[in-house]
Amino acid sequence: MVLRVAPAPSALSTKTPHLPSVAKRVFQLSADDFPRRAVGCVGTHADLDRTWESVRPVATTLVDAFYATLDLRDPDAVSDALDELPCELRGIGYEGAGMGLMALDTLSPRGWRLRRFILGRGAPHQCLVYLGAGMTLARVPGNPMRFVNRHDPALRWLLLDGYGFFDGFFRWERCLTRPPALPGYGPNAYDQGVGRSLWFLTGADVTRIRDIIAGFAVGRRPDLWSGVGLACAYAVGVHDGQTVAALRRAAGPLVAQVAVGAAVAALFREQSGQHAPFTDLACSALWDLDGYSVAALAHEAGRSLAHTPVAPPSDRYPRWRAAIHAAWLEGPTAPGRDTADEPAGSRVEASCP
Amino acid sequence: MSLAGRLRCHLFGIRSVHGSFERGGLDPGAGARLDRIADALVVGHHAALEAPDAKSLHWRLSATPRPFRGTAYEGAGMGLAARDLVTPRRDRVGEFSATYAGPYRYHLHVGVGLALARRRRSPEERLPWLDPLLGWVAADGYGFYDALFRRQSRGPLVALPGGWTPFAQQLFDQGVGRALWLGLGGDAGLIRREVRAFPEPRHGALWSGLGLAAAYAGGTPDQLAALRGAAPQRRVELAVGATLAAWSRAIAASPVEHTDTACRILTGQGAATLAAIAEATRAELPVISPMPLAKLWRDRIGFRVDQLSHPPAPIGRGRSSAGDTRRVSRDGVRPGDWCQRAP
């Protein structure tokens, strides 16, 4: 799964030729490291190799896209390269591009490549781009908020989600105690990212996820489960129908949070126009609806937020998630409904429409 | 006035905008007609430069006569943004917008665009600090400023700034269109000639701006009818502009008669109807959208306004072009259309 990169046009290599090499040295990343991280977090287990095989394409795409972005630097050239990727991995590619653009932005004083990318051709994938960009922030010394505050007030929380994911994946000890100085909704977003990382670290092993989350403080668990829900509905290739059913049982009373995560994932998919059968599967298990309907429902939940033309909207992202939560509680899959009617675990292959 | 306030007025203040109309390209008589608007702008601007805090600024702006208060807030947005740009840690525009600007937040953000244009700073770079929906109109203010102060001697009146996204450029041209209406004294013949000098893809946004300014500032019935007749194929764009003007007047609770008259002549609908359409579409905007919220809003207003004059066609005659089988949402906008390259 190698990202094909067109040779950089000469126009790109005129200014600051040293920037990519600096960035590469500062932000080293290797896909082959990933299994070792998993051992560090959840301990070694027999099927680690099998799990790793299923996650490998995602990891290599992420790292390749990251390095390609550092080489290309120009947001449009990055989009060209990413559009060559197979459709189910394209979102992950954009995540890697977000990492790369954020890395370049943090190294230049008024960098706004990431903003330009999101205003331009990165727009359909903006949520994934933000998640990736947040992973870079975790490695930037100092307060991450000085970069976070340069971005869209509602979606900037996704940056901290990515930050949490990075800590969960690469610095497990650190995410047990939260990083300091995250204002507002930051700690929640951070934990959602940690929850996402659990899905990959454990290789989608629901029992292990449950045990790990049980070790966290009670107040952090809802966001952790929400992150797990997002990863399970979005991630590639590590999914079958029984897993979601098991997830429902494992989450217990916090299953609504899993559903919120899945709805957000469905919306990410709908935004980028890249339909994936496993997103549908997760949505039908958690919401009893297909992916597009869940995304529509998530949009609808956002509309019901009290708008007023005379005051700026505040806390849109947390309030939106709360509205989705409320919608789930009113829906047909809320607690009390039996969960035994999931399709018996047929593994689903991703396909491009 | 405090010493710091005086210093700020000296650094960022405006001496007079009247002179700008006398240079080529615009009608020299326009300056006299625009006296009161220009005065309100300067008053608001200087108030923002002098005022020590948001509250005292609010009191000073409240003293301006109601029909010109929007323009005073525009000036205030310009002054506050000018101060923000030199002290990056402060966000006076955001604070004022969240506290006292209330119904005049639209005008405030147009004013931000004027300040950005003076400093040659891209509005898109500034967006994260501005309102997620209304912040985009800073690009409109930028275009208005360029049309008044950075006109070209040949070719189209104003050149598009490079490196902006297409939507920001569209709003820039809307600002240019507003300046054309005010600067050419509402003479439809002159306007049509001036618009023709622009490349064709820019015309739509220019007509939106013309509709906006004509409905906001008003004109004689003859002028307005001539404007409508000058571009029959730009009817929808003209109506979108008029709708935004009606909405901003309605939100500010300053419904003036000339806006209603202009809306009726330009679109066949009263200002209240149009404002209600804009408000209903605004309240329906999603939280997350791959398209800028402001673009979504405009497109939906355009669709609804178009429907008013043309009830939906019977089933079988779709609005999308033949052969296009992609999903079309209920407002006729295809997802991803605005930022994708042609296939």
Residues B146 and B140: beta-carbon distance below 8 Å: no
Along the 343 residues of chain B, how does pLDDT read in single tens digits? 677 777 676 666 666 555 555 544 555 555 565 677 888 889 999 999 998 889 999 999 999 888 889 999 999 999 999 999 998 888 999 999 989 988 999 999 999 999 999 999 999 989 988 998 999 999 999 999 999 888 888 888 899 998 888 999 999 999 999 999 988 888 899 999 999 999 999 999 999 999 999 999 888 899 999 999 998 999 999 999 999 999 999 998 877 888 999 999 999 999 999 999 999 999 888 888 888 899 999 999 999 999 887 766 555 444 444 333 334 444 444 443 333 333 3
Of the partner residues B97, B131, B290, the one whose CB lies closest to the CB of residue A123: B290
Residues A167 and A180: beta-carbon distance below 8 Å: no
What pLDDT shows up at residue A10? 34
Provide the b/e sequence for B74-88 (b: ≥16 CB within 10 Å). bbbbbbbbbbbbeee
Nearest to B172 by CA among B218, B116, B214, B132: B116
Which residues of chain A are within 8 Å of residue B341 when distances are taken between CB atoms? 121
Residue A183 identity: P
Residues A206 and A246: beta-carbon distance below 8 Å: yes
Provide the b/e sequence for B126-163 (b: ≥16 CB within 10 Å). bbbbbbbbbbbbbbbbbbbbbbbeebeeeebbbebbee
CB contact under 8 A, B102 and A119: no
CB atoms within 10 A of CB A198: 25
Backbone angles phi, psi at B257, to 5 degrees: -65, -35
Nearest 5 degrees, angle CA B72-CA B97-CA A122?
A: 115
Q: What is the pTM of this model?
A: 0.83
CA Rg value for chain B:
20
DSSP assignment of A234-284, as one string? HSSS--BHHHHHHHHHHHGGGHHHHHHHHHHHHHHHHHHT---HHHHHHHH
The Cα of A80 is separated from the nearest Cα of chain B by a number of Å equal to: 10
B-interface mutation test, from A84, A116, A119, most B Cβ less than 10 A away: A119
Distances (CA, A) of A296 to A88, A90, B271: 21, 22, 32
- Cα–Cα distance, B268 to B308 (Å, whole number): 9
- Which residue has tokens 């307060």? A143
- Cα–Cα distance, A329 to A352 (Å, whole number): 33
- Cα–Cα distance, A209 to B255 (Å, whole number): 59
The whole-number average pLDDT for the span A88-107 is 90
Which residues of chain B are within 8 Å of residue A115 when distances are taken between CB atoms? 124-125, 127-128
Residues A280 and A243: beta-carbon distance below 8 Å: no
Nearest to B303 by CA among B285, B276, B277, B338: B277
- Which residue has tokens 């004059």? B309
CB contact under 8 A, A311 and B102: yes
The Cα of B98 is separated from the nearest Cα of chain A by a number of Å equal to: 6
Query: Any bridge partners for residue A347, and if so which?
Result: A240
- Cα–Cα distance, A67 to A138 (Å, whole number): 17
- Cα–Cα distance, B267 to A352 (Å, whole number): 45
Q: Rounded to 10 degrees, what is the CA torsion of B45, B49, B50, B51? A: 90
What pLDDT shows up at residue A236? 60
Higher pLDDT, B60 or A1: B60
- Which residue has tokens 């030729």? A17
What are the pLDDT digits (tens) for A12-40? 333 444 556 666 666 677 767 766 666 66
What are the pLDDT digits (tens) for A134-193? 999 988 888 888 888 888 888 999 999 999 999 998 888 888 875 667 888 999 999 999
CB contact under 8 A, B285 and A303: yes
- Cα–Cα distance, A54 to A50 (Å, whole number): 7
- Cα–Cα distance, A246 to B24 (Å, whole number): 74
Token pair, residue A87, equals 């459709």
A-interface mutation test, from B93, B96, B112, B287, most A Cβ less than 10 A away: B287
The whole-number average pLDDT for the span A100-124 is 87
The Cα of A74 is separated from the nearest Cα of chain B by a number of Å equal to: 12
CB contact under 8 A, B291 and A299: no
The whole-number average pLDDT for the span A77-97 is 88
- Cα–Cα distance, B109 to B81 (Å, whole number): 9
Q: How far is CA A180 from the centre of its chain?
A: 22
CB contact under 8 A, A124 and B336: yes
Of the partner residues B97, B284, B288, the one whose CB lies closest to the CB of residue A271: B288
- Cα–Cα distance, B105 to B112 (Å, whole number): 11
Token pair, residue B45, equals 């601007």
Please give the residue of chain B at the shortest CA–CA distance from A76: B341
What are the pLDDT digits (tens) for A228-272? 999 989 876 555 778 888 888 999 999 999 999 999 999 998 988
Token pair, residue B300, equals 């939906």
CB atoms within 10 A of CB B31: 18
CB atoms within 10 A of CB B125: 17
Distances (CA, A) of B22 to A280, B28, B148, B269: 64, 5, 10, 36
The Cα of A126 is separated from the nearest Cα of chain B by a number of Å equal to: 7
- Which residue has tokens 């950075």? B150
What pLDDT shows up at residue A9? 38
- Cα–Cα distance, B227 to B229 (Å, whole number): 5
Residue A299 identity: H
- Cα–Cα distance, B125 to B145 (Å, whole number): 18
Distances (CA, A) of B39 to A223, B56, B72, B118, B288: 54, 20, 9, 18, 40
Mean pLDDT of chain A: 80
Q: How far apart are the first and last CA of chain B?
A: 60
